[in-house]
């Protein structure tokens, strides 16, 4: 445990652990990031998720420094920018992330998107480069390495090519888009599933099924949805800039959903029609740097 006694750790396939609940920083503006992360750390979060493409690693780093918390009480994830898949670019970008975060290592470093229609379809070499940073066979500046938005065929390709398993696959999962084929592929390789956009940017919070469960349990729809993820074994990192919402999102471990509750929420899955984010099979966006 890293400071949150009620938050369980998930064991990863490389023998390390990750807190099941963290604080996400996607779409938090750079000028708001330090304050938001400081408030999250004060609320009790010890798992922070950022990315090069969020452009807020420096704010995360300033908040970590200001917190005075011991480094081993924190779990920090960042991700490779889509524009830096080539090996030398990835190495330079990783060095830059460490500089911006003010850290000598991160706990988890991910390929943000596979980009199968870019770089001649070669994301295998990008994965091999990430393994250079891993504590398992690399220089240890990333305790664990993994991927994000990888489809089953993408996972198979990098594992067949390198013989090395990513520790996690961070993908869109929420009640309207259960992403069950990817979750099953992850499980088959003992790769942990991290669920981004766990409440579909709020779109599921008015759903009658979720609202009815929340009313019965005297919980909020967000808490019910996040608890659904927890009981399925997903790692989640909801985002908010409101301290009261941060605290609410932490309060997930003193109640349970019934099997019928779980099944009812799972049945909301709309397949690809429920997807909110980009499709990893076609996503090819590279930001201006």
Is residue 54 annotated as a catalytic residue, yes or no?
Answer: yes
Going by the DSSP 8-state scheme, the letter that residue 134 receives in this structure is: B
Give helix then strand counts, H and E, for the chain. 10, 10
Q: Which of 54, 119, 176, 189 is catalytic?
A: 54
Going by the DSSP 8-state scheme, the letter that residue 138 receives in this structure is: S
pLDDT of residue 6: 84
Task: Give tens-digit pLDDT for 209-226.
Answer: 999 999 999 999 999 999
Binning pLDDT at 50, 70 and 90, where does residue 288 land? confident
Burial of 59 from C-beta contacts in 10 A (0-12 / 13-18 / 19+): buried
If you average pLDDT over residues 169-176, what whole number do you get?
A: 98
pTM above 0.85, yes or no: yes
Cα-based distances in Å from 140 to 19, 49, 163: 20, 19, 19
In terms of residues, how long is the chain? 289
pLDDT at 4 over 50: no
Going by the DSSP 8-state scheme, the letter that residue 21 receives in this structure is: B
**Half-sphere exposure of residue 274: CA atoms within 13 angstroms, side-chain side:** 21
pLDDT at 5 over 80: no
CA distance 185 to 193: 10
190 Ramachandran zone, left/alpha/beta (phi>0; psi -120 to 50): left
CA distance 153 to 150: 8
User: What rounded mean pLDDT belongs to the chain?
Assistant: 96
If you average pLDDT over residues 54-68, what whole number do you get?
A: 98
| Phi, psi torsion values for 174, nearest 5 degrees | -160, 165
Which domains does the chain possess?
9-199+234-240 (3.20.20.100)
CA distance 35 to 241: 9
Cα-based distances in Å from 176 to 47, 52, 76, 203: 26, 28, 28, 9
N- to C-terminal Cα separation, the chain: 37
Binning pLDDT at 50, 70 and 90, where does residue 1 land? very low
Task: Give tens-digit pLDDT for 223-279.
Answer: 999 999 999 999 999 999 999 999 999 999 999 999 999 999 999 999 999 999 999
pLDDT of residue 289: 67
């Amino acid at each position: 445990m890293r400071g949150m006694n009620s938050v369980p750790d998930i064991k990863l396939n490389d023998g390390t652990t990750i807190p099941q609940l963290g604080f996400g920083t996607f779409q938090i503006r750079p000028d708001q990031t330090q304050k938001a992360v400081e408030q999250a750390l004060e609320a009790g979060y010890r798992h922070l998720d950022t990315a090069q493409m969020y452009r807020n690693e420096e704010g995360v780093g300033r908040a970590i420094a200001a917190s005075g918390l011991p480094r081993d009480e924190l779990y920090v994830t960042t991700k490779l920018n889509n524009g830096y898949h080539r090996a030398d670019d990835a190495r330079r970008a990783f060095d830059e992330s460490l500089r911006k975060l003010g850290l000598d290592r991160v706990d988890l470093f991910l390929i943000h998107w596979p980009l199968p229609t870019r770089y001649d379809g070669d994301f295998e070499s990008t994965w091999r480069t990430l393994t250079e940073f891993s504590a398992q066979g690399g220089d240890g500046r990333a305790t664990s390495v993994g991927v994000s938005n990888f489809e089953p065929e993408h996972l198979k390709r990098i594992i067949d090519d390198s013989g090395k398993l990513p520790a996690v696959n961070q993908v869109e999962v929420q009640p309207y888009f259960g992403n069950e084929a990817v979750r099953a592929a992850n499980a088959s390789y003992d790769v942990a599933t991290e669920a981004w956009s766990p409440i579909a940017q709020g779109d599921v919070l008015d759903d009658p099924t979720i609202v009815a469960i929340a009313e019965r349990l005297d919980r909020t729809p967000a808490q019910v949805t996040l608890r659904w993820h927890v009981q399925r074994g997903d790692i989640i990192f909801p985002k908010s800039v409101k301290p009261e919402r941060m605290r609410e999102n932490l309060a997930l471990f003193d109640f349970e959903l019934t099997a019928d509750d779980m099944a009812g929420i799972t049945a909301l899955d709309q397949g690809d029609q429920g997807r909110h984010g980009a499709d990893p099979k076609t996503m090819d966006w590279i930001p201006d740097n």
